[in-house]
Amino acid sequence: MNHKREKDEHIERLYYMKEKETDSTDALKTAMNGNMDFGLIDELSSEDMIKLSADGSKIKLTKKGADYGRQIIRAHRLAERLLYDVLGGDFESGACEFEHIVTPELVDSICILLGHPKLCPHGTPIPEGQCCRRSAKTAHSSVIPLSELKIGQSARIAYVNCKSDQQLHKINGLHLRPGVTATLHQKYPTFVVECEGSNIAMDEQIASSICVWKGLDPL
């Protein structure tokens, strides 16, 4: 178990190679920046995660390995999306202001999903939340599309799901962006949203691509 991280790294790289359709051991070496661990390779091979060719020049994931890799990549990429979209994507400074950005509802949801953990990774206790006392089992989505708000309701925008950068710029240009409060004025014949003092008409497709925090009173 203590090599899990290293194992995962190897499988991750092999998965990338699979995506790029290469299977040479040399490619893995380069991908690992020379940190390739042959002991680990043997171990993975015995776990039926990877398959080496007879001369050792080709290496690829087995079905089991590929399934496992898929999970890692999924988690990795979802986390990326979370950091990137929801938390503002401040990659460069590495400063993640998680606790300043999430709502209590979202924290509860995360807590439920994690099974109400009692201790943090450093071993200090995590204060109990509402959800722990109720031992809630199902997490409710804290983010809903703007189109599902009631008429007259206001909510803070969490993120905008855009089909293109162009569209994102257009929506951003009207100041429909994470953190601002939007009020839904009407849904029919089309959506009208008030935001930062201006009224904006939009179709359902755009209204449902703007996601807002549910049940959060604007200031």
Partner 1 sequence: MPILTRKEEWDRCGLSNSAEVKKIAIVGLPNTGKSQVFNNLTGTYTLVANYPLTTVEIKKTECLINGQSYEVIDTPGLHCLYIHSEEELQVRDMIFSEKPDVIIQCIDANQLKQSLTLTADLLELEIPMVISLNAIDETAKKGIWIDSGGLSRALGIPVIESIAVNGIGTNQLKAAISKARIGKWSVKYGEIIDTGMSAIVPQLPEDVWFKQKAAVLLLLDDPFLADYLTKKYGVEKIAQLTEQVNRVKKQFRGNIAHTVNNTRIRWMDELAENTTRRQRIEPNQFATGFARLSRHPVFGIPILLMILFIMYLLVVNVANVIAGWMDQALWAPVEAKIDSFVTIGWLNEFLIGDYGILSLGLANAFLTIMPILSVFFIAFNILEDVGYIPNLCVLTKRIFDKLGLSGSAIMPLILGFGCKTMATLTTKSLKSKKERYIAIYLIAFAIPCAAQMALNMSILGRMGVRAFVIAFSTLVIVEIVAGVALNKILKEEERSDFLQELPAIRLPNPKAVIIKTYYRLWWFIKEAVPVFIYAAVAMFVIDKIGLLNATKNALEPVMTRFIGLPLEMVDALIMCMARHEAAAGMIIKLIESGKLNYVQCIIAVTITTMFVPCFANIVAMIKQLGAKRALSMAVIINASSFLIAGLLNWLLVGVFKL
Contact residues toward partner 1 (CB under 8 A) are 84, 88-93, 165-175, 177, 179, 185-186, 188-190, 192, 196-203, 205-206
Minimum CB distance to partner 1, residue 107 (Å) = 23
Q: Exposure string (b/e) for 203-216, b if CB count within 10 Å is 16 or more?
A: eeebbbbbbbbbeb
45 vs 172, beta carbon nearer partner 1: 172
Residue number with CB closer to partner 1 (75 or 201): 201
Give least dist CB 78 to partner 1, A. Answer: 16
* CB 26, min distance to partner 1, A: 22
Q: Give the nearer residue to partner 1 in terms of CB position, either 131 or 160.
A: 160
- The distance of closest approach from Cβ of residue 163 to partner 1 in the complex, given in angstroms and rounded to an integer, is 9
Containing 85, the helix (H) or strand (E) segment is none
Nearer to partner 1, 61 or 207 (CB): 207
Residue 12 CA to residue 6 CA, distance in Å, equals 10
Q: Which residues of 111-143 are buried (b: 16+ CB within 10 A; e: fewer)?
A: bbeeebeeeeeeeeeeeeeebbeeebeebeebb
- The answer to whether residues 126 and 119 touch, using CB atoms and an 8 Å cutoff, is yes
